[in-house]
Amino acid sequence: MTSQLIQLKQMTTVVADTGDFEAIGTYKPEDATTNPSLLLKAMMIEKYQPLASQAIDWAKAQNSDDVVAAAADKLSVLIGMKLLEQVPGLVSTEVDARLSFDTQATIEKARQLIELYRQEGADTSRVLIKIASTWEGIQAAKVLEAEGIRCNLTLIFAFEQARACAEVGAYLISPFVGRILDWYKANQPDTDFSGDNDPGVQSVKQIYSYFKQHQFDTVVMGASFRNIGEIQSLAGCDRLTISPALLAELEQTDAPLERRLQPTTDTTEQEQPLTEQEFRWAMNNDPMSHDKLAEGIRQFAKDQVALEAMLAKLV
**Which residues are tagged catalytic?**
130
**Residues 216, 84, 10: CA angle, nearest 5 degrees:** 55
- Distance, CA of 223 to CA of 208 (rounded, Å): 13
- Helices 177-187 and 199-213: angle between axes, nearest 10 degrees: 140
Q: Three-class SS of residue 260? A: coil
Q: How far is CA 296 from CA 37, 59, 189, 200, in A?
A: 11, 28, 22, 15
Of 33, 46, 16, 176, the residue nearest 94 (C-alpha): 33
Question: Environment class of residue 189 by beta-carbon count within 10 Å: exposed (0-12), middle (13-18) or buried (19+)?
Answer: exposed
Helix (H) or strand (E) holding 237: none
Q: What share of the chain is helix, strand, coil (3-state, %, to 5)?
A: 55, 10, 30
Q: Do the beta carbons of residue 78 and residue 117 sit within 8 Å?
A: no
- Amino acid letter, 63: N
Q: Do the beta carbons of residue 186 and residue 235 sit within 8 Å?
A: no
